[in-house]
Every structure is written in C-alpha cells, then in structure tokens.
A and B are shown apart, each in its own frame.
Chain A
Amino acid sequence: MMEISAAVFLAGIASSAAPLILAALGETLTEKAGVINLSLDGAILLSAMAGFVVAARTGSMVVGFAAAAGTGMLATLVLVVISIYLGQSQVAVGFALTFLCRDLAYFLGAPFARTAGPQLSIVPVPILADLPIIGPVFFQHSLIVYTSFIAIPLLWFFIYRTPQGLVLRCVGENPEACWARGIQPRKIQTIYTLLGGALIGLAGAAFSLAIKPGWGRPQGCEGMGWIALALVIFGGWHPLKVAFGAYLFGFLQMSGIFLQDIFPSIPAQIFQVAPFPLMIFTLVLVHLGRDNKGRKFFLLRLLSGDPPDALGKNYRQV
C-alpha cells in the first residue's frame, strides 16, 4: 500500500511540474540571451485559452498545441519589437504585456468557459511502464510530460555543448563584444526570445489540455508564470537547477495535498499557500550561496548562479 502511494506521489510531482518546467526553461533560454520576458504569466494563460479552444474546435491535439506555441511567440513578439528593436524598458513592456494577455485571455475565452474539451491521453511506454515504482513515476504519462523530461537535458546540452549555445551565452554576457566579433546581438536575442515564447505557449497548453484540463475563469494556472520566473532565479540560470526547482515546487504542492489528508484539522488553505513562502525561503537560501560566507557550504554553493551580465539591458546596435 505504501509503495503504491509513494509512486502516485512521485508521478504526481512529475506531471504537475511539467508545464512549469517548460515555461521556466523557455524563460531560461530567453534570459540567457540577456532579455527578461516578464509577460509569461499572462502569456501562459492566453496560450492555455488558445490551445484549448483550437483543440476543441479542430479536434486535433497537435493543432491545439501548435496554436498555443504560436500564441506564446506572438505575445513575445511584442516584447521583441518594442524592447529589443525600439529600445523601451523590458521590465515595463513585460509587465504591461502580462496584464494585457491575461485580460485578453478572459475576454476572448469567455464564450468557451466551462465547455467540454479534449484532454491529452496517457501513453504508457511499452515494457518500461510495467516496472515497479519507476514505471508509474516516469513512463505512464501524457506526451507533454515526456516532452518536459526530454527538454531538460536537451536544453542543457544545447546551451553548454553546442557552438550556437556558446553564442547565446556570449550575447547574454556582453553584446558589445559579440558585435565586435561579427555576431548580431539583436538577431540572436530575437530568436531566443521567440523560442522561449514558444515553450511558454506549450506550457499554457500543457495546463489547459493535460494537467488542469479545461478553460474557465479562473483556469487554475494563474500565478504559475511568476513561479516560473522565480524558478529561473532559483536555478541560477542553469537548466538543470531550474528543473530541480520546478520539481521542488511540485513536491511542495503534492505534499500539501497529501498532508491535508493526514491532518484534516488544519485548514486546507495553509497547505495550498505553503509552497509559496517556502519557495521564497529557498530563494533566500540560494542567495546566501552567493556571498563569501555562504560559499563555504557545499549545497549552497551548488545552488548559486549568476545572472547573465547584460540581462535586461537593451543593446543599442549602431
């Protein structure tokens, strides 16, 4: 009995963290290029709506996810044009954009609220799914959860082991030095901001078509964008640590649900809210790893990471 519930618990973490991982990895990609995209909370909601509506209308999951990815890219295109090319503050544009996207999602999505829609089915991996514990934890999920698994090492490899990844990191560190070497920083930033947007869009559809299926107000994914943003900082702009953070958050959320059953006398709200302050607490711990005292502790040192030097600064190309 204990064995089954542990597997259910871990499988729950793996699937509930999937959209967070996609969004946080997308944001990592964007920020590695030196661009802060603050619009993701709204963009997730907008693409969740778009994905749900398109999938419901066309009856095709693939088209639904593609529409969501496209919506995410479209939202970040605003940031690309206004910030990267017209030089306006990334923070201001991102903030305005997140609220615009949110309201747009509720407005355009209103006719479809609480209507029946499709849900991504579970695709067990043959043979592997039958393994005890490992099977249910890793191999009995929907395709989008597998995507989140694969995305983590893939992104790490891309950023740290390919020439394109090197250029990406260079642009985030020192766009002027890149320009001097014949790289066009704004072009690189545009590419990765849009790619990040696509991943954010997929995260939206992962919510509305798989993890919290359906569309309504509230959808249930509100606030997750901000968590994803915090996770990028938590993970020190490193995809593996960012993913670790997403699973930690998933763990805190699942713990809340389980503990609620064990301690029915404690108000349910405490367990629902607890992950957020705990996340802030871990952020503080991570930050301690950045000063000299904190560096003495192995775990803190492991978690620490520096932001790209040019993060949030618009590069004026002559």
Chain B
Amino acid sequence: MIQLVNIHKTFGKVKALQGVNLHVRPGSIHGIIGENGAGKSTLMKILTGFIARTSGSILLDGREVALKTPEAARKLGIGMLYQEPLDFPKLSVLDNFMAAAADTNPQRQAEIITRLSNKFGFTLNPSSRQGKLTVGERQQVELMRLIRDQCRILILDEPTTGISGEQQKLLFGTLRRLRDEGKAIILVSHKLAEIHSLCDRVTILRHGKPAGEQEKPFNEEQLLQAMFAALPTRSSRPPRRTPGKPILTMEEVSTTAGRVGLDRINTTIHEGEIVGLAGLDGSGQSIFLQMAYGLLSPEQGRVSLPDADVEDVMRVFLPADRLGKGLIAGLTVREHQLLAGATPFFIHSGCGRDETKKAINTFSIIGTPDTMAEGLSGGNQQRLLLSLIPPQARLILLEHPTRGLDLQSGRWTWHYLRSHLPDNGAIIFASPELDDIMEQADRVLVFYNGAIILDRPTDQTGYREVSRAITGRV
C-alpha cells in the first residue's frame, strides 16, 4: 500500500536518514525498531508531512506522492498518534474530537464517540476535560479521531509509554481489529515484547540506516544484534576498584515526577564504585540522578547519604542539557571559572585569566578565556563543565557524559574522571550508549518504566542480558 524508497534526510551536516526503504501492506502491523536516535521519529515525521525529505520517493498505491504538509498526508489518509499527546488539554473531549473535522455537528460527533467507544471498549465522557484524562485515554480520543477521518495508514509512535497495563491490552485489541479491517498500521517501538505480540513484519533502523527486516516469527537474537550493532568484545578496561562504605542509599523511593516516575527504588552506591544507568530514554534514569543530587525529593521512601553526619558529602551533577542547565549562556569561560572558585571583591579583566588558561590547556578546550559558553561546541562545553568540578567532590552524577564527544575526547573524559575520583568517591552516570556503560561502569542498573529491573556488576553480565533488560525482558 505505502512504499518508501531510498529516503534520505539531512539536518545541516547531520545525516538523520540514509537510504531507508519501507514497504507496508494493507491489513498488517509493521514494526519499526531501533535505539534512541536511530531515525525512527524522523522517518515517521516525513511520512506525516511534518518535515520534508531531502531525497527519495514515497509511493501510495503505486503513485508517487509529495507529502509536503500534514494537511496533504491527512487528505491521503495517513494519520499519526504521537508519543506525547498532541492535543488540546483545556478543551473538552468532544471539542478535541471535533477540532478541524469536516463535520462539526456536536450531536453527530458525540454519537460517533459513543459508537466507537462501544466498539473498542473505551469509556470516555465527551464532556470531560481532555487534560483530566490519563495519557492512555487521551490516546484513545486521538485514535478514534483518526478512525473517524478514515485513515488508511495509522502510525503509532511508542504508544505504550506511560499507559497502564489495562489500557495497553485495550489498545492492542483495537489495533488487531483495525488490522483485520484492512488498515496498514506502523508501530514504532523499542519494546520487543510489543513487537512480538503485535507485528507481522519488522524493520530495524540503526544510526539512520536500515539494519535488517524480519517476517514473523522473529528471531530475538538477530533483532537485538541488528538494533545494537555487532556486539563488540570488551576492550581492556581499567581494574575495578574494591567498593568501600556506602555513600548513597535509596530505600523504597517512589515519585511521579517525569514521564514514568520512579517505582520503589532500593539501592546502595558504595565508595569507589562507578555505576552506569542503562535504559531507554526517560525510563527513570534522569529522575534517579536528580533525586541523588537532591534536586527532587521522593514522594515516598528515603534518600540518604550515610556519611553526611560525619562530614559534608560534596555532590556534583552534570545534566544532559549542558547549556540550558549546566552552564550560563552569556558568560565567558573565564567568568565560569570565577563563579566556581573564590570570587574576588571586584572582578577586573585580569581576574582568573591565568587559572582559566591553565584549565583550557589541561582540558584542551577549543576556545579562549573570553569565549562565551554558547560559543563552544557541545564537546567543549562538556570539557568546561568537567573543569569546573571541584577536587573535593565525592559523588559525581553525570547525564550522558560523552554525548557529542568523539571517541578520543570520550576516552579522555573517562580517564580524567577515573584518575581524579577520590578513593572515597563514586560516579553515577546515565548513558544511552550501551558500549559506554559496559566499558566504563563497574556496575550497571537497568531502568524500565521507572523501576530498576536489573542490577549487576558489569563483569558478571553481558550485552545480551543488558539489552534484553532495556527492552523489558529479564
């Protein structure tokens, strides 16, 4: 029914998609899987007309179509259910359902809601406020809207993120029914369990390139290999330190912050440990780090620093959003150094110049003392942040520490962190790169839906077990 041939997409210099092919048949559910940043969302945005492709062609029923705007896609019967509900929370369910509809008779539209709700087993009140519904219910409203608009091709982007098990069952039932009615359904997911129970066919993307295609029944081993590249052999890694006294403990920590919150986290981090947090983006790693740093307090349970009574445990947090949360745009490298150290009473242009030059040399920051933070590249922003870590820091928390760094800088970063970590300190870092975690961490915690589902020393586990856990299989 719909065929994508040799699709390329570049954003400036970044190649987001390179030669992707896809053929989706009517009456089938086609899965698209891949890591974060594999290009799944970009591909789907091209299909819905949200962004334009750089080259390649899209054939619908054998005829080439332009798909320049969402309006064009809609007219061709292509509809998408976005990962984050793209709706109007302050309006009623009925208003959400009617917005931009061809027919806007409230009575008729309310009847359609009732009819479709009954058909699929949803319980929705047309007059309630959309924002008061759960994510799963908001999704149901959107889904019914697409069905009413006679969409022949339905795209679902990570539809089970943040919805309950009950709603998931309902959704899967609905999707199977729609498939049997002849619709073509594209399911974007990184959860293998979903792919297994729903899809007839699956395409794997890796770094914007097609990495394989499989027909049901799927071979899980091959899927994982295609998703996470060839599982590389472990390179020589520095010897593991012997864990010392506990430095951070979490007991029954739960919260509803973030997309999935945290669900009864129990863990202890010891002195000398380097702990890697693995999992799909937004599975709770970031909330865990913010909790460990004290930016968030748990709604239930307790976060404690056993040593805090004896001496102050200095914590440092390097967030993923370097310029937004870590550095101050509009201030120079030198001013950052001054802020981090002891500031003199008056700041003249010579203040901290020598120290800054030293830091620029040690950390090989490409820039001058007077370069603004936003003028540095992503990698150099990270180096600047590293240079600001005080030597007495004992608990270093990092979010995506090597994002945007090339291999060399990445290695250097880790070398620096390891050699400067005091014996009674610990590092906790979250990374989307499994390689990073397997190579650098002594211990890995895998997050899934806000819970830790795997906790192992890295030398007692492997890529297979960890990548399975990331997709929710233990």
Q: Which residues of A contact B (CB under 8 A)?
A: 163, 166-167, 169-170, 173-174, 176-184, 306, 309, 318
A-B contact pairs, 20 of them (CB 8 A): A163-B104, A166-B99, A166-B104, A167-B99, A167-B100, A169-B88, A170-B88, A170-B95, A170-B100, A173-B91, A174-B87, A174-B88, A176-B86, A177-B88, A178-B99, A180-B50, A181-B70, A183-B71, A184-B71, A309-B90
Assuming A178-B100, A182-B75, A318-B51, what are 10 further A-B pairs, CB within 8 angstroms?
Answer: A166-B104, A169-B88, A169-B91, A170-B99, A179-B50, A180-B50, A181-B74, A182-B74, A182-B100, A184-B71
Q: How far is the CA of A74 from the CA of B437 in the complex (A)?
A: 60
Instruction: Give the distance to chain A from B110, nearest Cβ to Cβ, in Å.
Output: 14
User: Which residues does chain B contribute within 8 Å of A174, judged by CB atoms?
Assistant: 86-88
User: Which residues does chain B contribute within 8 Å of A318, judged by CB atoms?
Assistant: 50-52
Q: How far is the CA of A177 from the CA of B96 in the complex (A)?
A: 10
Nearest chain B residue, comparing its CB with the CB of A318? B51
- Whether, in the assembled complex, B48 has its beta carbon less than 8 Å from a beta carbon of chain A, the answer is yes
Instruction: Give the distance to chain A from B305, nearest Cβ to Cβ, in Å.
Output: 34
User: Which residues does chain A contribute within 8 Å of B98, judged by CB atoms?
Assistant: 163, 166
- Whether, in the assembled complex, B82 has its beta carbon less than 8 Å from a beta carbon of chain A, the answer is yes
User: Which residues does chain A contribute within 8 Å of B90, judged by CB atoms?
Assistant: 173, 306, 309
Give which listed residue, A180, A183, A184, A309, contacts B86 with CB less than 8 A. Answer: A180
User: Which residues does chain B contribute within 8 Å of A181, judged by CB atoms?
Assistant: 70, 74, 99-100
User: Which residues does chain A contribute within 8 Å of B50, judged by CB atoms?
Assistant: 179-180, 318
What 1/0 mask marks residues of chain B from 87 to 116 whose CB sits below 8 Å from any chain A CB? 111110001001111001000000000000
Q: B48-67: which residues lie under 8 A (CB-CB) from chain A?
A: 48, 50-52
Q: How far is the CA of A179 from the CA of B71 in the complex (A)?
A: 8
Q: How far is the CA of A166 from the CA of B86 in the complex (A)?
A: 16
B interface, over-half SS: loop
User: Which residues does chain A contribute within 8 Å of B87, judged by CB atoms?
Assistant: 174, 177
Nearest chain A residue, comparing its CB with the CB of B82? A180
User: Which residues does chain A contribute within 8 Å of B80, judged by CB atoms?
Assistant: 180
Instruction: Give the distance to chain B from A189, nearest Cβ to Cβ, in Å.
Output: 15
- Whether, in the assembled complex, B69 has its beta carbon less than 8 Å from a beta carbon of chain A, the answer is yes
Q: How far is the CA of A306 from the CA of B48 in the complex (A)?
A: 32
If A167-B100, A318-B50 touch, whether A180 touches B70 (CB-CB below 8 Å) is yes
Instruction: Give the distance to chain A from B154, nearest Cβ to Cβ, in Å.
Output: 14
User: Which residues does chain B contribute within 8 Å of A176, judged by CB atoms?
Assistant: 86
Q: How far is the CA of A179 from the CA of B88 in the complex (A)?
A: 13
User: Which residues does chain B contribute within 8 Å of A183, judged by CB atoms?
Assistant: 71, 99-100
- Asked whether A182 lies within 8 Å of B48 as measured between CB atoms, the reply is no
User: Which residues does chain B contribute within 8 Å of A306, judged by CB atoms?
Assistant: 90
User: Which residues does chain B contribute within 8 Å of A167, judged by CB atoms?
Assistant: 99-100
User: Which residues does chain A contribute within 8 Å of B70, judged by CB atoms?
Assistant: 179-182
- Asked whether A170 lies within 8 Å of B91 as measured between CB atoms, the reply is yes
What 1/0 mask marks residues of chain B from 419 to 432 whose CB sits below 8 Å from any chain A CB? 00000000000000
Instruction: Give the distance to chain B from A180, nearest Cβ to Cβ, in Å.
Output: 5
Q: How far is the CA of A180 from the CA of B86 in the complex (A)?
A: 8
- Rank and list the top 9 A-B pairs by shortest CB-CB distance, nearest first: A182-B71, A163-B104, A181-B100, A177-B86, A173-B88, A182-B74, A170-B99, A180-B70, A183-B100
User: Which residues does chain A contribute within 8 Å of B51, judged by CB atoms?
Assistant: 318
User: Which residues does chain A contribute within 8 Å of B82, judged by CB atoms?
Assistant: 180
Nearest chain A residue, comparing its CB with the CB of B94? A166
Instruction: Give the distance to chain A from B363, nearest Cβ to Cβ, in Å.
Output: 35
Instruction: Give the distance to chain B from A286, nearest Cβ to Cβ, in Å.
Output: 18
Q: How far is the CA of A167 from the CA of B87 in the complex (A)?
A: 12
User: Which residues does chain B contribute within 8 Å of A179, judged by CB atoms?
Assistant: 50, 70
- Asked whether B104 lies within 8 Å of A180 as measured between CB atoms, the reply is no
If A170-B88, A173-B88, A173-B90 touch, whether A180 touches B48 (CB-CB below 8 Å) is yes
For A167, A181, A306, which residue has the most chain B Cβ atoms within 10 angstroms?
A181
Instruction: Give the distance to chain A from B242, nearest Cβ to Cβ, in Å.
Output: 52
Q: How far is the CA of A173 from the CA of B91 in the complex (A)?
A: 9
Instruction: Give the distance to chain B from A174, nearest Cβ to Cβ, in Å.
Output: 5
Nearest chain A residue, comparing its CB with the CB of B69? A182
Instruction: Give the distance to chain A from B119, nearest Cβ to Cβ, in Å.
Output: 23
Instruction: Give the distance to chain A from B287, nearest Cβ to Cβ, in Å.
Output: 25
Q: How far is the CA of A178 from the CA of B86 in the complex (A)?
A: 9
For B52, B71, B101, which residue has the most chain A Cβ atoms within 10 angstroms?
B71
